[in-house]
Amino acid sequence: MKVSIKGVRGSIPTSNPETSFFGGHTSCVTVREESWELILDGGSGIQNVTPPEGNDRVDILLTHLHMDHIQGLGFFNPLFDPNKEVHIWAPASATQNLRARLNRYLSPPLFPVHIRDLPCKLTLHEVGNGSFEIGPFTIESRFVIHPGPTVGFRIKGKNAVVVYIPDHEPALGPKGLLTDKKWISGFDLAQNADILFHDAQFTHKEYEGRIGWGHSCMEDTIKFAKLAGVKKLLMTHHDPSHSDMTLKEILAEQKSKHTGELDFELAKEGMEIELG
């Protein structure tokens, strides 16, 4: 299994030299095994994705439909290729199906092309608390704490498990992150994963003024990963106001507090990881 990071930024892309080391594209990660590839989220980083040759099927798994997770969809070439079979997996809402929700973006005035006019062979799949299979992958989806219908994904390949929860606030509540694992949002997804991608947008001080926004501070993300027993944590959804220098300083502070307790890093655009 090969994991490639195409976008790590939250909220809005950045394009200045101060954010070039970790990257400025919004959320997108690919997971590839054999000739099959899963594209996790469709932020601006999706423009860096080149689907594998020999497979005309493209699978895009969207955790939710906030703009920073779908803004790259309209510029993704396979959607405009009549020879491509494109499957989009994402949550619906209580009042609108997935097609209606996506159509709010893929239609004027926000985008010039209607979703109905895309020339690819498009199939939409609504996901919630459940499981499904794509090629060699078995995928579990679960709703997690974030404004609007939002899921995380647990992806099991032949020899490894990758968990992707880029927007998540498991510590939301009167006492912060709970210690009873059965009540922690996303815990069943993350448990014993080989790699966990998880939201870590804020410092603890920043988070105090942003409780309820649906994102996590690094301290809570590290606690969550340790409770779940993950082998490696990659913190993502970096705040667009955090420069590379700021991120390195924050990471160094966390490394000094948690020496040897957990293998964790900040996700970096262009990073590739071989598993299994």
pLDDT, tens digit (0-9, with 9 covering 90-100), for 234-262: 999 999 999 999 999 999 999 998 877 79
**Average pLDDT, integer, range 168-197:** 94
Q: Which residues pair with 39 in a beta bridge?
A: 30, 60
Element (H, E) at 223: helix 218-228
CATH for the stretch 2-274: 3.60.15.10
pLDDT, tens digit (0-9, with 9 covering 90-100), for 39-74: 999 999 999 999 888 889 999 999 999 999 999 999
The CB density around residue 145, as the number of other CB atoms within 10 Å, is 19
Query: Cβ(190)–Cβ(100) under 8 Å?
Result: no
**Average pLDDT, integer, range 99-122:** 95
Q: What are the extents of the domains in the chain?
A: 2-274
**Average pLDDT, integer, range 21-48:** 96
Is the sign of the CA dihedral 89, 93, 99, 104 positive or negative?
negative
175 pLDDT above the threshold of 80: yes
Percent of the chain with pLDDT over 70: 100
The pTM score is: 0.96
Smallest Cα–Cα separation from 11: which of 35, 40, 33, 43? Answer: 43
Give the pLDDT score at 155. 98
Smallest Cα–Cα separation from 8: which of 17, 211, 22? Answer: 22
